[in-house]
């Protein structure tokens, strides 16, 4: 049984993935991807068959522990295989898949998501269900694993992926870029970015590489100049940065919104204006490294735990950096929400509206209300305990409510019920 009510056709039961080992070769001119994926997993029950989420590729070979399975099929977004013998509970196994073809983004209510072409290069934006567009996986947000991602592309291109860059080797007009993500990561946060980028470095205690088109370098250096200070402020408010590095890529295309990935964020050229006009988005994507990447929802219905927290982090950045109290945007968004239909429960918004602006805005207002209710010392202690307790783990709304209650002598059930589970907008904070 699949316990993902929003996307019941994604994710698989019976095993837990420990590691993905991906070797990919991408040709931008022909938009062709050739891949070898090794999925290392552990059976959680007797397992007569193994099912992986996988998109529209030609599958050339499938092996289980180095041997051909008794039977396999690939249809309707699922790769199904039957080992020669059922796997016993606790058994570790490896599925190797070799495949090729043009990556096809996954169609969704939010448009096409996953691996897609840029004007010159490639971009991967998989939230929430686009990961099968480029590798076989267990596509559930609560299914976290480590990754090795090796990508070969023509040598004039630069490749970014999750985790630290371990090596770059050139050979015959191509280059292979190898990244290791040692922190557990769900499939939807895995990414590859390919383009003609200059590699820059922002200062600070955390490694902050950036991939930027040469023509946009001066705009980037101005508009992202405060990111190192932003990282310092967020570490003071939320606790230590949870990964080895934080990379930023600026695609040489316009993007509707920035793209969140683990240890990496992607912006469009339209997010650079020389005036820091999109600095709130820089803060939002950085905050996701704590709220969404290190702490990842176990179920998509709890999306406010990502977007509400990242939105509130925008307000906190301008409060602590520029002295603009969070109450200023809080009042502005209260007025905005008061003029909208009161028809959304942000604690369970449904798959069609999980990225509705109200989930972001009202989620942030929930946190602001909690902060005013319990006071700053308790609120910021709560945030640090939240990120430390669940570092690199899976979380649910009930977990946050229970932890918040430990920081308040008075019951908080009514506050959370009104803000998260009733559609009517509560009184102004």
Q: Return the active site residues.
A: 285, 360
Phi, psi dihedrals of residue 264, rounded to the nearest 5°: -160, 140
Q: How far is CA 333 from CA 82, 324, 346, 407, in A?
A: 53, 15, 15, 26
Cis ω before 308 (30° cut-off from 0): no
Q: Which of 75, 107, 74, 188 is nearest to 140 (CA)?
A: 188
Does 19 appear as a known binding residue? no
Does 288 appear as a known binding residue? yes
Burial class from Cβ neighbours inside 10 Å (0-12, 13-18, 19+) for residue 216 reads middle
SS3 string of 176-198? EEEEEEEEEEEHHHCCEEEECCE
Q: How far is CA 13 from CA 87, 131, 147, 253, in A?
A: 14, 17, 20, 38
Does 284 appear as a known binding residue? yes
Alpha-carbon distance 151 to 414, whole Å?
Answer: 50
Q: How far is CA 396 from CA 2, 249, 387, in A?
A: 17, 30, 13
User: Which residues are annotated as part of the binding site?
Assistant: 284, 288, 307
Which residues define the annotated binding site for Zn(2+)?
Answer: 284, 288, 307
């Amino acid at each position: 049984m699949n316990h993902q009510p929003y996307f019941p056709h994604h994710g698989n039961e019976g095993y837990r993935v420990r590691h993905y080992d991906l070797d990919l070769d991408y040709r931008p001119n022909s938009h062709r991807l050739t891949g070898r994926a090794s999925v290392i997993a552990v059976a959680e029950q007797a397992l007569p068959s193994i099912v992986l989420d996988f998109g529209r590729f030609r599958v050339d070979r499938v092996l289980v522990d180095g041997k051909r399975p008794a039977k396999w099929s690939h249809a309707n977004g699922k790769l199904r295989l039957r080992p020669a013998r059922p796997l016993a509970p606790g058994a570790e196994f490896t599925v190797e898949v070799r495949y090729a073809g043009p990556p096809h983004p996954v169609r969704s209510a939010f448009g096409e998501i996953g691996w897609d072409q840029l004007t010159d290069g490639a971009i991967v934006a998989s939230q929430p269900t686009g990961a099968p567009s480029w590798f076989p996986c267990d596509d559930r947000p609560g299914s976290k694993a480590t990754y090795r991602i090796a990508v070969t592309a023509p040598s004039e291109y630069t490749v970014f992926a999750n985790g630290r860059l371990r090596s770059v080797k050139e050979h015959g007009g191509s280059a292979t870029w190898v990244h290791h993500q040692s922190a557990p990561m769900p499939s939807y946060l895995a990414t590859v970015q390919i383009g003609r980028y200059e590699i820059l470095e922002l200062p600070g205690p955390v490694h902050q590489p950036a991939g930027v088109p040469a023509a946009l370098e001066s705009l980037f250096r101005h508009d992202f100049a405060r990111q190192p200070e932003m990282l310092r402020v967020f570490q003071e408010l939320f606790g230590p940065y949870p990964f080895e590095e934080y990379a930023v890529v600026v695609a040489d295309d316009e993007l509707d919104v920035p793209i969140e990935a683990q240890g990496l964020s992607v912006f469009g050229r339209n997010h650079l204006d020389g005036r820091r006009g999109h600095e709130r988005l820089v803060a939002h994507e950085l905050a996701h490294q704590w709220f969404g990447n290190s702490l990842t929802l176990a179920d998509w219905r709890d999306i406010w735990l990502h977007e509400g927290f990242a939105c509130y982090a925008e307000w906190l950045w301008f409060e602590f950096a520029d002295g603009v109290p969070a109450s200023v945007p809080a009042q502005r968004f209260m007025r905005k929400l008061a003029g909208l239909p009161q028809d959304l429960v942000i604690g369970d918004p449904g798959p069609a509206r999980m990225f509705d602006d109200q989930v972001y805005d009202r989620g942030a207002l929930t946190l602001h209300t909690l902060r005013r209710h319990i006071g700053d010392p308790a609120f910021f202690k709560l945030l640090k305990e939240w990120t430390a307790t669940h570092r690199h783990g899976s979380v649910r709304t009930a977990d946050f409510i229970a932890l918040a209650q430990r920081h308040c002598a008075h019951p908080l059930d009514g506050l959370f019920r009104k803000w998260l589970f009733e559609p009517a907008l509560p009184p102004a904070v």
